[in-house]
Chain A
Amino acid sequence: MLMQHPPFTTVRSIRPLTEIEFAAWVAQAVPGDRLEYHRGFLVLDTFALFTKLDDRGRTELAKLGSRAFWAAEQGLVHLVQQRIAPDQFAYIAVARPKPKAAAASLSELLLAEPEAA
């Protein structure tokens, strides 16, 4: 019998994403979901000389790129690129199963805190 799994969702935002939106997607995505978080040439788009973005947009994009890299290092997503034209890439994050860790005891942390502070 074939195993059924929920359909994967691919999301492409119609406007530039922010770092916090990317993080929110990571939290909500089921394994296999894909998010195109940038389209262009990320390295050049975050570089003042080559980009069409203003300072704020460039900073946001740099933060977004760093956050995507962080999420990949944490084992939350795979990062892949799809070439769509010369010097044009779709930067895609593919959600991975959430890493399991023993829950931290909130009570222990709070009990320890008055001594620490």
Chain B
Amino acid sequence: MQFELEPKHVHIITSEAAAVARRLQRRLGLPVCEREDLAQDLLVDLLRRLPAYDPAKGGLGAFSGLILRNQASRIAMKIMRERRAAGGFTVSLDAPAAEDDPRPLFEAISDTQGLAAWHGQHLSEAEKQQGRISIETALAQLPHCGQRLCAALSVNSVNTLCKGGFGSRSAIYRRISELRVVLTAHGLGASWDDLAAV
């Protein structure tokens, strides 16, 4: 039987979602501004599952509570997984930098400490230029077909290259694996100091 939503039900659902979002935000140590986003994520899941609600089996509050709790634990697991992947807690850039420093965090972090720098993105013009010279020097050591493959890979996916006459997928991946070692030997790739330390 299709359950018809009345205004009093909407109130039950939204207040349940708000309560669960508040608990989740506190438990995960998230900033208060995240609370509404969490409530919306919880509500979306609840509304999707609402057609399965059968009033004969229990109250809407109990049904909502169960669904919201399950979704809350899924959200918590996702956030914890992201934190583990990021190597620690994520904090809001709008939060104060420190107890004695009221500036927002984004004003206190330099470019070189940012996420882009962690992932190896060159930020200063000098670094970009140096990177470009290193790439051009290493590419010069490759045969023409290797240079062409590198250039093609920088703008196309492997699937596109298959259609563009670069060979089969497995052949392209074999060549990439070979190129990885060759480019490493010419200075583009993991450094010996990093690898030897492992």
A residues contacting B by CB (< 8 A) are 11, 13, 19-21, 23-29, 67, 71, 74, 76, 99, 101-106, 109-110, 112-114, 116-117
Query: DSSP majority for the A interface?
Result: helix
**A22 → chain B, closest Cβ, in Å?**
8
Instruction: Give the contact-size bracket for chain B.
Output: 35 or more
Q: B194: which A residues are within 8 A, CB to CB?
A: 24
Bound: A101/B143 CA distance, A: 12
Is A101's CB under 8 angstroms from B140's CB? yes
Bound: A113/B164 CA distance, A: 11
Count of chain A to chain B residue pairs whose CB atoms are closer than 8 Å in the complex: 95
**B168 → chain A, closest Cβ, in Å?**
15
Residues of B159-174 whose CB lies within 8 A of A: 160-161, 164, 166
B residues contacting A by CB (< 8 A) are 132-133, 135-137, 139-142, 147-148, 150-152, 154-156, 160-161, 164, 166, 180-182, 184-196
Q: B181: which A residues are within 8 A, CB to CB?
A: 19-20, 23, 67
Is A24's CB under 8 angstroms from B139's CB? no
Q: When A21-B195, A113-B155, A117-B161 are in contact, do A27 and B185 touch as well, CB less than 8 Å?
A: yes
